[in-house]
Amino acid sequence: MVAPLKVGIAGLGTVGAEVVRLIEQQSRVLSSRCGRGVRLVAVTACSKAKKRGLDLQGVEWARNPLALANDPGVDCFVELMGGAGEPALSAIEAALKAGKSVVTANKALIARHGLKLARAAEQSGAALNFEAAVGAAIPVVKTLREGLAGTAVNRVYGILNGTCNYILTRMEQEGLSFAECLKDAQRLGYAEANPSFDVDGHDTAQKLAILASLAFGTRVSQSAIYVEGISSIAPEDLRAAAELGYRVKLLGVAVRTAKGIEQRVHPTMVPKTSSIAQVMGVTNAVTIDGEGIPPITLVGPGAGGAATASAVVADIADVARGVRALPFGRPVERLRKIEKAPMERHEGGYYIRLMARDLAGTAATIATRLAEQKISIESIVQRHANGVDAVQIAGKAAPVPVILITYATSEDAVYRALDAVQRDKVISGRPQVIRIEKN
């Protein structure tokens, strides 16, 4: 009879506590599926006295994560403390050096130190599993690394942050401002007191860095990603998108181009008919475009204790089965270095919202500046207030919103044209620009 896999967990927060419960609740199922038992033998956390509602009788309490990682009675070290550095980094390194397999949900650590840890795993022959680091219960890591190992991926993109998707959903459905929706998200616990990591796009960028490496065989590099958040999105942009057949989502996009791998995070207009456009609220989704197959879209809860714990336990089960996949699907030495692709080279369609001044020749001036950059317009909408030609403010006509949808063009051309329009002084304020991602 095969001995059970002995598991040690560092971190007993929301996710860690759920993992403890799942291992206990699914004990018989895990034993049946893995061909051996899975047994929790040791834990560690900041406070031993904290009440967590867990039955830890017979479970050893290690004095710190490093001691747990070096415990000879532990076969699999599960890191659920979080943070891009210590103590998680040293503890995982120690576990891998000792030949123990590691399971982690730590996206920040994998995005920053993933290559170093993957190399250590290769040298020791241990597993380094991190399915829960991206998309929680969505099995996108295994899909890219194992399920599509024989498929050339051309593009991977998705909604990777539930907080931003919740805010944009509420803004669209209820006509609320970004500030109003953010405040409500904080009240409900979807957003942190300091929400910048989520709403400025950095959480999505960490996850995209991992997905891009798995999809394209490149080294994990968060610094190679262009990042833009959602705070500039206004209700009028969402209304215009709906009328034009689009919906606005914060997407992480990694795509193979003739100039290399382009990685970007930004608000994006997607066709309402696309799978990704149907994903609302705190739900996450990832679409994978591969050669020879229709696009694959994976949808599910991207955060939360139960969802994340589900992915962690699945990774533990792989360790128990003896599965040892290379962490990034290829040996570290074969992962290609990637440089940040300047967004000026990006090509695609654009949504542009201008506040045009009510002056003779304004429309002609805008059209001329776009034509100079060889930008073709797919549609143009000029909005008026209450059906009249202009609104009077202090005896002067107020600027009128003009919305343009372009055919595919370069980012550089768009901003050269808009800079010229601003110099012509025929618009007020800064233009709003949102990229369009086609199916």
DSSP 423-438: HTT-EEEEEEEEEE--
Count the helix, strand and coil residues of the chain and give each as a percent rounded to the nearest 5.
Answer: 40, 25, 35
Residue 335 inside a domain? The answer is no
Q: What is the per-residue pLDDT for 383?
A: 64
Instruction: Give the span between the Cα atoms of 338 and 30, in whole angstroms.
Output: 39
Q: One-letter amino acid identity for 298?
A: L
Please check whether residues 256 and 160 belong to one and the same domain: yes
Please check whether residues 225 and 326 belong to one and the same domain: no
Please check whether residues 287 and 159 belong to one and the same domain: yes
Residues assigned a catalytic role = 207
- Here the CATH number for the domain that contains residue 359 is 3.30.70.260
Residue 336 inside a domain? The answer is no
Q: What is the per-residue pLDDT for 208?
A: 97
Please check whether residues 80 and 125 belong to one and the same domain: yes
For residue 156, the enclosing domain spans: 141-301
- Here the CATH number for the domain that contains residue 44 is 3.40.50.720
Tokens of 169: 């959903």
Instruction: List b or e across 64-74, with b for residues whose CB sees 16 or more CB atoms inside 10 angstroms.
Output: ebbebbbbeeb
Contact in structure between 416 and 373 (CB atoms under 8 Å): yes
Tokens of 419: 């800079």
Instruction: Give the span between the Cα atoms of 364 and 342, in whole angstroms.
Output: 31
pLDDT in tens, 118-158: 999 999 999 999 999 999 889 999 999 999 999 999 999 99
3-state secondary structure of 71: coil
Q: What is the per-residue pLDDT for 345?
A: 82
Q: To which H or E segment does residue 60 belong?
A: strand 60-61
Contact in structure between 399 and 359 (CB atoms under 8 Å): no
Residue 349 inside a domain? The answer is yes
Residue 190 inside a domain? The answer is yes
Q: What is the per-residue pLDDT for 114?
A: 96
Q: What is the dihedral of CA 159, 162, 166, 172, to 10 degrees?
A: -10
Please check whether residues 28 and 68 belong to one and the same domain: yes
Q: What is the 3-state secondary structure (H, E, C) of 125-178?
A: CCCEECHHHCCCCCCHHHHHHHHCCCCCEEEEEEECCHHHHHHHHHHHHHCCCH
Please check whether residues 125 and 208 belong to one and the same domain: no
Please check whether residues 401 and 276 belong to one and the same domain: no
Please check whether residues 314 and 282 belong to one and the same domain: no
Tell me the sheet residues that pair with 104. 79
In this prediction, the residues of the chain whose per-residue pLDDT falls under 50 are 385-395
Instruction: Give the span between the Cα atoms of 104 and 141, in whole angstroms.
Output: 13
Please check whether residues 247 and 325 belong to one and the same domain: no
Residue 339 inside a domain? The answer is no
Q: What is the per-residue pLDDT for 148?
A: 94
Residue 185 inside a domain? The answer is yes
Q: Is the pTM of this model over 0.95?
A: no
Please check whether residues 198 and 227 belong to one and the same domain: yes
Q: What is the per-residue pLDDT for 386?
A: 46
Contact in structure between 338 and 260 (CB atoms under 8 Å): yes
Q: What is the per-residue pLDDT for 53?
A: 85
Rounded to 5 degrees, φ, ψ at 367 are -60, -40
Residue 46 inside a domain? The answer is yes
Look-up of token digits 């139960």: 306
Q: What is the per-residue pLDDT for 384?
A: 57
- Give the number of domains in the chain: 3
Instruction: Give the span between the Cα atoms of 64 and 118, in whole angstroms.
Output: 23
**Could you check whether the bond before residue 271 is cis, i.e. omega within 30 degrees of 0?**
no
Please check whether residues 167 and 126 belong to one and the same domain: no
**Could you check whether the bond before residue 399 is cis, i.e. omega within 30 degrees of 0?**
no
- Here the CATH number for the domain that contains residue 179 is 3.30.360.10
Residue 32 inside a domain? The answer is yes
Please check whether residues 169 and 291 belong to one and the same domain: yes
